[in-house]
Amino acid sequence: MALDHPESTVATAPGPPADLDRTTSPQMPGRRRGVLRALILLLGAFVFLFPFYYMLIGSLQAEPDTSLSGVVPKGNLTLENYSEINGAVNLGRSLVNSGIFTGGVLLFTVVFGLLAGYALARLQFRGRGTIFALVLLVQVVPFQLLLIPLYVLIVRSYNLADSYLGMILPFAINTTAVFIFRQFFLQLPDDLFSAARIDGAGELRILWSIAIPLVRPALLTTILLTFIGPWNEFLWPFLVTKQADMQPLAVSLANYISNVAARAANPYGAVLAGACVLAAPAVILFVAFQRSFRTSDIGSGVKG
Which C-beta is closer to another protein: that of 5 or that of 172? 172
Non-local (6+) Cβ contacts of 55 within 8 A are 272, 275, 276, 279
- Asked if 181 and 118 count as a contact pair (C-beta separation under 8 A), the reply is yes
Which C-beta is closer to another protein: that of 67 or that of 76? 67
Among 153, 157, 211, 174, CA closest to 5? 211
**Degrees, nearest 5: CA angle 266-270-274:** 170
Which C-beta is closer to another protein: that of 6 or that of 113? 113
Give the CB-side neighbour count of residue 275, counting CA atoms within 13 A.
18
Closest approach, Cβ 120 to another protein, in A, equals: 7
Which long-range contacts link 91-97 to residues 24+ away (Cβ below 8 Å)?
A: 91/249, 91/274, 91/277, 93/245, 94/247, 94/248, 94/249, 94/251, 94/252, 94/253, 95/249, 95/277, 97/164, 97/245, 97/246, 97/247, 97/248, 97/249
Closest approach, Cβ 76 to another protein, in A, equals: 19
- Asked if 188 and 211 count as a contact pair (C-beta separation under 8 A), the reply is yes
Alpha-carbon gap, residue 277 to 59, rounded angstroms: 10
Q: Which amino acid is at 195?
A: A
Which C-beta is closer to another protein: that of 45 or that of 79? 45
Q: Is the dihedral of CA 48, 52, 55, 61 positive or negative?
A: negative
Closest approach, Cβ 138 to another protein, in A, equals: 5
User: Cα 15 to the chain's mean position, in Å?
Assistant: 25
Alpha-carbon gap, residue 170 to 212, rounded angstroms: 26
Which C-beta is closer to another protein: that of 218 or that of 276? 276
Closest approach, Cβ 238 to another protein, in A, equals: 9
In angstroms, the Cα distances linking 284 to 74, 97, 100, 289, 297 are: 26, 19, 19, 8, 20
Closest approach, Cβ 270 to another protein, in A, equals: 9
Closest approach, Cβ 249 to another protein, in A, equals: 8
Which C-beta is closer to another protein: that of 34 or that of 189? 34
Q: Which helix (H) or strand (E) holds 184?
A: helix 175-186
Closest approach, Cβ 50 to another protein, in A, equals: 9
Which C-beta is closer to another protein: that of 176 or that of 214? 176
Closest approach, Cβ 283 to another protein, in A, equals: 6
Closest approach, Cβ 265 to another protein, in A, equals: 15
Which C-beta is closer to another protein: that of 79 or that of 152? 152
